[in-house]
Structure 1
Amino acid sequence: MPEKTPDAPGAPDTALFLRSDDVMAEAVRHARLPLCITDPNLPDNPIIYANAAFCELTGYAMEEVTGRNCRFLQGRDTTAESVAAVRKLLAGQSVDTVEIVNYRKDGSAFLNALQIGPVLDPEGRVRYFFGSQLDVSAKRAAERQAQALADRELRHRLGNIVNVMSVIIRMSAQEETSGSELGRILTGRLEALGKAHIDSIVQPARSTPELRALALQLLSVYAPMGRRQVLLSGTEYALPEHLISPLTLVLHELATNAVKHGAFSCAGGKVQLSWSADGQALQLRWEESGGPAVSVPRRRHGSAIIRKLVSASGGALDFDWQATGLVVTASFTL
């Protein structure tokens, strides 16, 4: 159907609208959000009023838009689906938002978050439709860029996890001759590693895990008496992504050893984990107490693996089997 022009028969009387609906007209006129009012009781549901913000967004003067259906803002990249969604809202006389590509007077496109809704008279009949426009082009572009960065970061993390798992499997297979023991050790190591990374991936509000939370979560699982056997000391510290794997495996191996031979093998044993960071390195100290008498182990398969992983990340690990309990110090380069 041809668009109406301001001079065509049956064109809207903007002045009448402004006089008869003073309060609404003032609200529309001064709103910073682009707004227009259409009259579905006139042929082709033309615009009868548009505020200054609408004119600024589209580049059209009010006299250029009144009397015309809003479809004049559509163009080459306007999708049939978005047009159908607009028509459905009008037909259903409901309030909702449709994202639709519209065009300014100068021909430039923008993604319009168009909200449409009816204005009813006292008898419940539709008197007008309002349309509010919001240019969300920059917002959607930023969202797409952020998603691309997140996808790239996820691929990077998954690649790191696979590399570390390969090292664990290779070294464990070299050091263990029993198939059942190898399976048990691999299961524990890979589960600890996977949980640490999964927790950091599925919580977007926290890009990297906090050291205290990670340590408490991991060690509490191993301690037979729960958190009462775990003493943590250190400031809040968000772990860099490259330290999640080595630190998780260090804590897993130390906790496993504590369950077998150290502080976690009895109810009265305790593990104290403390840390500090100076901008150059993260320093950790693991100290066991209250457990059985300590002797230097003959086999050090677990310690060999975590030494190699810590060394690969630019750090160092030291074991001190004191009579009162194992003491381990670690340094991770930042």
Structure 2
Amino acid sequence: MKGNDQYTDARDAGDRLLARHTSEDPFAAAFKATRMPMIITDPRQHDNPIIFSNAAFSELTGYSADELIGKNCRLLQGPDTDPAAVARIRDAIAAGKDIATDILNYRKDGCTFWNALFVSPVRNSDGEIIYFFASQLDFTNIKSKEADLAAARHIAEEEVQRRTADLREALGTKTVLVHEVDHRVKNNLLTIASIVKLQARMSQDETVRKTLRSVLNRVEALSTVQRKLFNDDDVGHFDVADFARELVFDIVDALKRDDIKVTTDLNEVIVPAAKASPIALVVNELVGDAVRRGLSDGGGEIHVEVRRLNGHFLIRVADTVTPVEVDCEEHIFSNLMLNTSLRQLGATIERTLAGHRTDVSVTLLVDDTKE
């Protein structure tokens, strides 16, 4: 009888949650229809039971919604599930913190799958945790077939963009759940970066390693963009100067050279979210070009500037380095990335060379409208 009571309590909690969202509410529609497996649990009930799950979660695990309601998520654990991973999840939930971890789970039929699990608490206006929101990503094929990693990275990026676009349109940028969904995007980008990093370490081919490190560099830049877009109160708007400051110091610190002098003149310039990624790639390619031309080999000076110019704003990167031979293929690809981003932004570029000094200025319109 106790089990029936727990099922009833969990079902009632799920019904109350959905009752707050009418059938026309984009939240309910997006949650049910998305191909990303998702569940909601209620920590205010005994054993933090599942109170709602979508069809994608049932398809992934083999359990129907009725079999899941009132149960704790540990029903997906089995003999080979890592106790350390279970402990990390349990500790994060007890502390009311986000967690992203990989765990071996079991379907209803006993088959195993590798689950990239993301769990976040949802709080009410008083700061009390009222739900835990969890999403899953089955990456068994990636885990078992390292040769497919490059294709998996491309597929994952497209899927993340598609799912994020659908959910953002449905939920709106100012709701609590939009923050939760965009946590998924950030964590999926980190998963992609981890996959690429793993493949780079495993590869015996130096050309492959260089290519993967090049991809990783750009994925990490985009991951930084996503983190900054949704960490501030001004959701969906992007401070170019703040990003440029973090990027240049991260890149220089990673070089581990004490003969590089960094100077900056960075002034706040806020742009809409739609421009964040191409602007980030512009900054990344300009700084990366200086690194490839000699900053990583012989040190030198680099100056990064961001400021407004009468309705426009300027991104300027100047460096003084002793030139080294540049990888032709990487140089061509970087120029392609730079020029593609410039066309997307409608920006102009001016490059000045004087001896060992290179000065590059990119100018584009400031868009003050809220998107």
Q: Normalised by the shorter chain, which TM-score bucket?
A: 0.3 to 0.5
Q: TM-score, normalised by structure 1?
A: 0.44
Q: TM-score, normalised by structure 2?
A: 0.40
Q: Whose helix proportion is higher, 1 or 2?
A: 2
